[in-house]
Chain A
Amino acid sequence: MFGLKPDLCSVPMPETHYGVDDYAKSTARWCPGCGGHSILSSVQKICKEKQYVPEKTVFVSGIGCSSRFPHYMGTYGFHGLHGRAFPVASGIKFRRPDLNVFVITGDGDCCSIGAGHWVHAVRYNMKMVVLLFDNSIYGLTKKQTSPTSAIGTVSNTHPKGSVLPPINPIQTTLGISNASFVAQTTDWNPAHMYATIRKAADHPGFAFVRIVQRCPIFMKDLYADKAADPDSVILLSHENGINLDPAIAKTFKRVIEHDPSDIHKAREYAELRDGIPVGLFYQNTENPCYDDYGAHNLGMTVAEKTQALEELLDKYMN
């Protein structure tokens, strides 16, 4: 009963100190100017700060340019199927609470083919950081309309412009029951992006971060002026929000004070159209986490299992 619990995988805290290089692998093969590069360095920096043990960390992705991300990390990685990163990541975490799990997904991956899993993953609220690389286009397959493309987007599937309004990933996530952390940032403000992902990594549940991302090849003009114009973003600021260096915070011209425990205001601000709201929309650390259920009966010994099974078989005896 009190014997060795082999599957708890408790490895003693390492004495090693990990540097940024410990989280890097091969050179990223994204296009020059792709937002992916700056996200990658932010994430590696956070891994270092959190001193995640590389072998205890798994980056799970789907398929897309963004989903190549795990190949560039020095941790374990799972580059799986288009749209299916969430179930895989949830399955990894379910019986391995000792692993740090990240999900890297694209706007097509998450909001189109994987939309069903997205809804349920939010509801499972398992501890993992989710980074939605939203470039409003299908990158890897060369410029098709994405569910987050603005209406009128000219693409190879809609040469005359797309005809439907886009999904709002923040509003959608806020609408799913048991949502517990919803934040937004942009790839052209590395300091804000870093602070946002950092906050997500500290969250004890499913931390959803949409990163508004530039695609210099297929959506060259989409954020070109926005990235240069400080008026194009609106900072959601609060003492319980994203921790920004005051010097950085000062660079934002438009600021709204928003308490991230207020889901109604969060939903209101998710609809802001005259600028890109960035910051923490909503956080709730009290929501039930499905991984607690998943781990509740870990560590039974073979002797315990055998005894329980023999007792069950007794009930089926002749």
Chain B
Amino acid sequence: MENQIIEPSGLRPMGTRKNSKVVDQTVVEIVSDSGEGAQKCGQSLGSISAKMGNGVWTVEIIPAEIQPPARSREGASGIRVRIGSKKVTNMGNHANLVVALNEQVLYGRLAQDAYKEGTVLLIENKWANHELEHIRNQYAEAITEFKAQGLDVREIPMETECLKLVRDAQKGKNMWVLGMLCGIYGRDMERAEEQVRGIFRKKSEKIISSNLELLSAGYDWALNNLEFNYEIPAMKLDVDQVVMNGNEAMSFGTMAAGIELCSMYPITPATSVSHHLAENFEKVGGIVHQAEDEIAAIGFAIGASYAGKTALTVTSGPGLALKTEFIGLAVMAEIPLVIINVQRGGPSTGLPTKVEQSDMLAAIYGETGDAPKIVFAAATIEECFHFVILARKLAETFRTPVMLLSDTNLATGVQPFPRPKINSEWFASPIDQSAWKEGVGAFQWSAETGISKRPIPGQKGGMYTLTGLAHDEKSRVAYDPDINQRSAEHRSRKMAAFQQTLKRPAINGDAEGDLLLVGWGSTLGAIEEAVAKAQEEGLKVSSIHLRFLLPLEPGLKDIFSRFKKVVTVELNYSDKVGDPMITSENRRYSQLAWYLRAHTLTDVDCFSNVFGQPMSPAKVLQFIQNEVKK
């Protein structure tokens, strides 16, 4: 049913902004029960801000269930939005302000250390007069507790205000809250209106105007009733920007790479790549195939790749596990293929909606036998776009599967980045159907690079039978063990040949010092923000951030040798010496640390955890401070 306006007022925002305080960044959270639209509200705030030229980073707060019981502590659903004057690269530390639609959902966030003393809490006050006594009591207790914890609590009549405009406040309260936040942070109301029209573009004009009314009312209410409001000055944008999350960027990257097939099986948090593709892919000559399982998904992609159309398969942890046998085949038979793994918490079903970087070693070493393939990781949302294009190129150049890693933080985080200018060279070239050169084998490995050219069905004279059995240059089943040794050498040599083209990683900070942090993937922003703060404090700390994991970028041992201590920062598990049973001998290191220790023979240490939360700059800074003092 349409949520009709009771008293259409037709007013645009009226309130005047007085005594605004200028801040250079702020962190806002909106938390609610599932289905109350908190994410839509926060994403809209992020979009409006990005369009104004502010830096933005969003992090979704997602419960494990679709509709967990209302008012439950574990059921918090919502979003964090960090808005800055400059580019924002991570989720920041404690929130400055949180909007809560009930008091219970806030407990979970408090336990996760999301707030600090002085964080402003704008809480729906309808619970104070709820018909059920125990709910009234819960609310009262919570308010007392939040105040005791130092939150600056403001009880807001959200429901009452919405009911002045609509019959059902549950629908539309999020737009009122969006208006209120626009008022507090001086957001451009024309952009806000555009945003709301966009959200409801498929709905009737009545619904659109009803939501615009709520937006205006929230804005006015903030200016008339709150004694604070802020300005977050924006940058002058000299380049066009696009705003999207990492999964959308990967979908765009897929299309811009000229990939024609995404073969997948649904799994969080990877699925939304295929949702975006399903909506748009066919307009650029591509198709999404939803297979019967992950094994079939990669098999189907491999079939298309073998037939000349390098395909994409996209998945997350459990799905990657199922694909391993086929990845081994793609390595063995040198089939180009792009595999995107959007990492979530593991092992097993793990934390489906939370961030982790625990698949690095599985990505590199997950197959049986020696199965080298290119593995690299995006560190920003912009890289999510460009790296898919690169992945297809590398897959075809080196005739190999390429695994591109992302994670929940990148997948759902929204950030503006310079609008890519579509380049025709990014697209796959038409498949070669010319006659195959006589006498050349299907695996005529170059002794120098290990690279060979592959025949594509349709090429006259190129007929061969691809096989996962050990095979010689002509793809004949090898009965001679020398061939296995030789073909393994060539497959490995391709990785070395590619490594020779890579540059040393850039050092963020001085090339020598007391501490070098080494990161990979989505933690880039948090690490660099922490390192910048530490450098301001005079600490001799630098960082590098790896993109390529197999092969590794060159020069690492040399870079490491100029620092007193080298520590990886990662979102995967490591033991801590001093915990029960843990000694320096049996201690298990985090994944990159383990790998770099083996690779560089350097005593690389690690700072890692699996709380399922993105890395915060404050935690990294605290670690740096402790470490350098030691």
A313 vs B249: C-alpha distance in the bound complex, in angstroms? 10
Contact of B457 among A7, A58, A119 (CB under 8 A): A58
Q: Which residues of B contact A253 (CB under 8 A)?
A: none
The stretch that binds B, out of A79-87, A154-162, A201-209, is A79-87
Q: Are B458 and A317 in contact (CB under 8 A)?
A: no
A9 within 8 A of B: yes
Contact of A313 among B419, B427, B465, B468 (CB under 8 A): B419
Q: Are B467 and A91 in contact (CB under 8 A)?
A: no
Q: How far is the CB of A275 from chain B (nearest CB, A)?
A: 35
Q: Are A74 and B258 in contact (CB under 8 A)?
A: no
Contact of A316 among B242, B424, B467 (CB under 8 A): B242
Q: Are A87 and B295 in contact (CB under 8 A)?
A: yes
Q: Are B300 and A88 in contact (CB under 8 A)?
A: yes
Residues of B within 8 A of A (CB): 50-51, 53, 237, 240-244, 248, 252, 255-256, 258, 260-261, 263, 280, 282-287, 289, 291-293, 295-309, 311, 325-326, 329, 416, 419-420, 422, 424, 427, 430-431, 433, 455, 457-469, 476-477
A300 within 8 A of B: yes
Known: A78-B306, A84-B299. 6 other contacts (CB 8 A): A76-B462, A79-B467, A80-B329, A88-B302, A91-B261, A306-B422
A190 within 8 A of B: no
Q: Are B252 and A313 in contact (CB under 8 A)?
A: yes
A77 within 8 A of B: yes
A298 vs B286: C-alpha distance in the bound complex, in angstroms? 8
Q: Which residues of B contact A86 (CB under 8 A)?
A: 296, 299
A70 within 8 A of B: yes
Q: Assuming the A-B contacts A88-B303, A120-B292, A309-B256, are A78 and B263 also in contact, with contact meaning beta carbons closer than 8 angstroms in the complex?
A: no
Q: Assuming the A-B contacts A87-B291, A91-B304, A92-B303, are A76 and B457 also in contact, with contact meaning beta carbons closer than 8 angstroms in the complex?
A: yes
Q: Are A294 and B287 in contact (CB under 8 A)?
A: yes
Q: Are A81 and B325 in contact (CB under 8 A)?
A: yes
Most chain B C-beta atoms within 10 Å of own C-beta, residue among A92, A293, A310: A92
The 6 closest A-B pairs by CB, nearest first: A91-B303, A77-B465, A87-B299, A6-B430, A300-B285, A91-B300
Q: Which residue of B has the minimal Cβ distance to A95?
A: B309
A60 vs B466: C-alpha distance in the bound complex, in angstroms? 9
Residues of A within 8 A of B (CB): 6-7, 9, 11, 25-26, 54-56, 58-60, 70-71, 73-81, 84, 86-96, 98-99, 116-117, 119-120, 293-294, 297-300, 302-306, 308-310, 312-313, 316-318
Q: Which residues of A contact B280 (CB under 8 A)?
A: 312
Q: Assuming the A-B contacts A294-B287, A317-B241, are A94 and B300 also in contact, with contact meaning beta carbons closer than 8 angstroms in the complex?
A: yes
Q: Which residues of B contact A293 (CB under 8 A)?
A: 287
Q: Are B463 and A304 in contact (CB under 8 A)?
A: no
Q: Are A318 and B459 in contact (CB under 8 A)?
A: no
Contact of A78 among B242, B287, B465 (CB under 8 A): B465
A80 vs B328: C-alpha distance in the bound complex, in angstroms? 11
Contact of A91 among B243, B284, B311, B468 (CB under 8 A): B311
Contact of B50 among A74, A93, A304, A318 (CB under 8 A): A318
Q: Which residues of B contact A302 (CB under 8 A)?
A: 258, 424, 427
Contact of A317 among B329, B419, B469 (CB under 8 A): B419
